[in-house]
Amino acid sequence: MQPTKLLIENTRVHEFGCLPDPTPVKVFHGDTVGANVAYQLAEYLADPEDRPHVVMATHQALPRIPFLSNARNWDLLIDEVPQVDREQAHIVPSTHPFLTDHIQVAQHDGVYGRVILSALEELKTLARNPDEDELLEGFRETANILTTKHWRSFVQVEQYYKLLAGKAKLLNIHSVLMPSLVNDFASVLIAGANFEDTGLFALWSKMGVRFKPDAGIVEGLRYQQHGNGNLATIHYASDRNWSRHLREQQTDGKPNLERLRDAAKLVFDGRDFLWQANKSVPDNFFKGVGQRLPNNPLGLNEFDAVHDMVFLSALNPSPAHARFLQSRGLTPTEIERQGYCGVAYQAVMRTSLRDAADENLKHIIVPDERLAQYLADMLPGATLKKLDTGIADEENKGGRPRVHQDNAEKMRRRRTKEAEKRAELLAEVFTPQKPQDSLEPGCSPSDSTMCRNESSISLYRGSVSQDQHFWATIFSHIKSTTPEAYLSCASGEHFAEAMAAAQSRHVASKESNRLFSPAIFDPGRSSASNRGRGNILYLQNIVLDFENGDLRPTDIPDLFPDLQLIVTNSYGHTSDAPRFRVIVLTGAKVGPSAYEALWDAVADKLREAGYIKSPRPTSRLKRSGLDHSKRAATSLFYLPAQAASGSDSFFNFYDDHHRRPLDPEQWLRNVRLEMPPELGTDGQSVAGASEGTIAAAIKRWREASPGQGNVATRNMEVFFVSPVDDESASAASVI
């Protein structure tokens, strides 16, 4: 598999064609087989000629192969690393039903939901667009991705439901190509430079894929590190990060892009040069001088007699897609390296820099310092030089971190620690062993207002165990160490009914009210305390308190449009000074660490929406009002009651048809976990060190590891285990 038809033809003619005994080659792309390339390729692979031979196709065709029952009979070679993330953005306030009528959104994490197809055939028809409808053509590529089984697609949940409600115009679909793409082949070799700087490496590593260098192939390379960096001078225009906005800005009446062009021509002084720019830049931008590279120049080696290069492209992902990639665990540095920096490196390496024997001086011109530093790390000995373009630098510039080449080992250690922590949290998701309305002997209805009927809502006074399912622990006052009772409910709806009944009460004062905790405390579980962390059997639901913030109670359901929520007043609430509580219903019991991780994920969603704890006075961010002191799993909360002001009281249970209880397993599999700063300095690889920990935790959690396969690359050999749910891997075995 190669990225372009041109590269396939070059390989067929100049590589295989020059062998003394040429290997038979069969080529599949639009110019050789016409339409339906993926289907024709699948049919051929299922029933090929009975002789050793090579089949060639583009990267684009591989994910679209609809079936391949005999993949074990084929060795897969992927030349150059394919792109594994995509963003499809549509402004469709009126026409979105052409897509949204055929999909549903399932829970994934606190911000994004996974796209599930509800009408596959309709989407396949949209992907074909058989009538060549001009309007529907805009949806065609998106429908193709949605209907391709190896792509997993996501939407920002809040934005998506606003679109459906007519409150937004934009539909953003973010997609990731999954490792299942290569699961079943006899062997897989991926050949690509700077493999650890690619999105495939970064994203698949976070899914449990294991990578290891193929020593035999690496030893056969002409060189493993550039030895001619001393011949290169890397000029950069500004210390400000290059972007489409900065590119289009003017300095003293002249566009910055033209300033960079004119400065480059002065450096090149009439010599031939290569240049690359965004598609919007016209071919005559350099007015007949220089040779323009295509935006995908991978494998093009015919320019290696040219010594100079200017790279003009602004390739930052959209802010929405950058946030999505960060939610998948990528750091800003990894996003830069896989996109902007990686593409620029490939373009620069079309020049004579790729020829270790060429001793001519080379001049490389780039827009910003971050890219210049990245290239200097790739080309040891290169000289960095500021280019005089007139483009203003940043004011009060701080010490921006360098994009160091040696970050890969640090990232590996971070991924390992994150995998260990995630497995431990998943081990704290408990499956109910008894029906929700099953009570031990000794349960009896109470005269409490919350007890509406004996079978669905009641208070239990007695000893508790892990097997029983309760929804809250009740305490008589703030200093109580022994539970007064445990709240038993047949369902989340009955829990909401119990909370509504409590909220209808008038209490003399805040302090006279009883308290509850989502934690089920067993006083006999720990000798050190009665109401401490060690006494928690499990927790049900997530509770958050808000006060003195910019968020209003009516904002909450829009921020979490797919979750069942209770939003009710606190005792001191007034319309002018909102104080309120949010209870997020959960679909399973969890342990204390898992509870706090889910609490953090909810807080992260608020942050993503622009609400934080303490914004700076000049910031556009708003104060959330979220009480972070109530994050601890041991926290107590006053039962709902009428507000002191009376008329400002409210209680709302949001359980629309598209809302579900929060799924702790899905969230904990996919939310980004905050890890402590990397402190290690020894550089020791720990790529496989966590396997025992992960396996043990997952065993506790009830799942066994799935099957395994292996992949290799020119720079890396990949050993991986398929993800448990095609979203994340539970463990990996290196073989």
Using CA atoms, how far apart are residues 562 and 109, in angstroms rounded to an integer?
Answer: 11
Residue 708 pLDDT > 60: no
> What pLDDT digit, counting tens, does each position of 91-103 carry?
999 999 999 999 9
Residue pair 520/464 in contact by the 8 Å Cβ criterion: yes
Residue 690 pLDDT > 50: no
3-state DSSP percent of the chain in helix, strand and coil, to 5: 30, 20, 45
Helix (H) or strand (E) holding 152: strand 151-156
Residue 467's pLDDT band (cuts 50, 70, 90): confident
Using CA atoms, how far apart are residues 45 and 273, in angstroms rounded to an integer?
Answer: 43
Residue of 149, 148, 166 lying closest to 100 (CA atoms): 166
Residue 414's pLDDT band (cuts 50, 70, 90): confident
Residue of 657, 656, 663, 517 lying closest to 586 (CA atoms): 663
DSSP string across 641-659: ---TTSTT--EEEE--TT-
| Backbone phi, psi, residue 425, to 5° | -70, -40
Beta strands in 209-311 (DSSP E): 210-212, 232-238, 250-251, 254-255, 273-276, 291-292, 308-311
Phi-psi map region of 407: left, alpha, beta (phi>0 left; psi -120 to 50 alpha): alpha
> What pLDDT digit, counting tens, does each position of 305-339 carry?
999 999 999 999 999 999 999 999 888 988 998 89
Residue 731's pLDDT band (cuts 50, 70, 90): very low
- Tokens of residue 100, six digits: 């949204």
Residue 730 pLDDT > 70: no
Average pLDDT over residues 393-408: 57
Average pLDDT over residues 234-247: 95
> What pLDDT digit, counting tens, does each position of 624-655 carry?
999 999 999 999 999 999 999 888 999 999 99
Average pLDDT over residues 519-525: 95
> What pLDDT digit, counting tens, does each position of 23-70 carry?
899 999 999 999 889 999 999 999 999 888 999 999 999 999 988 889
Residue 680 pLDDT > 50: no
The CATH 3.40.50 portion of the chain extends over: 229-411
Using CA atoms, how far apart are residues 420 and 418, in angstroms rounded to an integer?
Answer: 5
- Tokens of residue 649, six digits: 């009281």
Residue 697 pLDDT > 60: no
Residue 447's pLDDT band (cuts 50, 70, 90): very low
Pairing of strands 112-117, 210-212: unpaired
Average model confidence (pLDDT) across the chain: 86
pLDDT at 674: 76
Three-state DSSP class for 558?
Answer: helix
Pairing of strands 25-28, 54-57: parallel
- Per the model's pLDDT, the better-predicted residue between 653 and 444 turns out to be 653
- Tokens of residue 302, six digits: 């015919």
Would you tell me which CATH number, out of the four given (3.50.70, 3.40.50, 1.10.357, 2.60.220), belongs to the domain 229-411? Answer: 3.40.50
Residue of 14, 25, 73 lying closest to 45 (CA atoms): 73
pLDDT at 123: 97
DSSP string across 188-220: EEEE-TTGGGSHHHHHHHTTT-EEE--HHHHHT
Average pLDDT over residues 575-582: 94
> What pLDDT digit, counting tens, does each position of 162-197 carry?
999 999 999 999 999 999 999 889 998 888 888 888
Residue 688's pLDDT band (cuts 50, 70, 90): very low
pLDDT at 319: 94
> What pLDDT digit, counting tens, does each position of 103-135 carry?
999 999 999 999 999 999 999 999 999 999 999
Average pLDDT over residues 701-728: 35
- Per the model's pLDDT, the better-predicted residue between 677 and 330 turns out to be 330
C-alpha torsion 86→89→94→98, nearest 10: -20
**Which position has the token pair 């990949």?**
718
β partners of residue 117:
103
Helices (H), ranges, 565-674? 592-608, 664-670
Using CA atoms, how far apart are residues 339 and 315, in angstroms rounded to an integer?
Answer: 7
Residue 537's pLDDT band (cuts 50, 70, 90): very high
| Backbone phi, psi, residue 717, to 5° | -105, 130
Average pLDDT over residues 192-217: 85
- Per the model's pLDDT, the better-predicted residue between 717 and 41 turns out to be 41
pLDDT at 161: 97
Using CA atoms, how far apart are residues 438 and 732, in angstroms rounded to an integer?
Answer: 39
Helix (H) or strand (E) holding 566: strand 565-569
pLDDT at 479: 92
Total count of residues recorded for the chain:
735
Q: How far is CA 160 from CA 174, 254, 414, 487, in A?
A: 12, 40, 32, 36
pLDDT at 442: 39
pLDDT at 397: 56
The 8 Å CB, 24+ separation contacts for 459-463 are 459/485, 459/486, 459/487, 459/488, 460/485, 460/486, 460/487, 460/488, 461/485, 461/486, 463/522, 463/524
**Which position has the token pair 């029906």?**
435
> What pLDDT digit, counting tens, does each position of 358-371 carry?
999 999 999 999 99
Pairing of strands 308-311, 273-276: parallel
pLDDT at 692: 43
DSSP string across 325-353: HHHTT--HHHHHIIIIIHHHHHHHTTSGG
Residue 437 pLDDT > 60: no
Average pLDDT over residues 248-271: 95
> What's the sign of the alpha-carbon dihedral 454, 456, 459, 464?
positive
> What pLDDT digit, counting tens, does each position of 590-617 carry?
999 999 999 999 999 999 999 999 999 9
| Backbone phi, psi, residue 586, to 5° | -115, 150
Residue 220's pLDDT band (cuts 50, 70, 90): low
Using CA atoms, how far apart are residues 733 and 431, in angstroms rounded to an integer?
Answer: 27
Residue 419's pLDDT band (cuts 50, 70, 90): confident
Beta strands in 328-468 (DSSP E): 362-368, 383-386, 429-430, 457-460
Q: One-letter amino acid identity for 622?
A: K
Least confident of 273-282, 389-398, 421-430, 450-459: 450-459
Q: How far is CA 64 from CA 32, 39, 42, in A?
A: 17, 8, 9
Residue 450's pLDDT band (cuts 50, 70, 90): low
Cα angle for residues 25, 30, 34 (degrees, 5° grid): 100
pLDDT at 431: 54
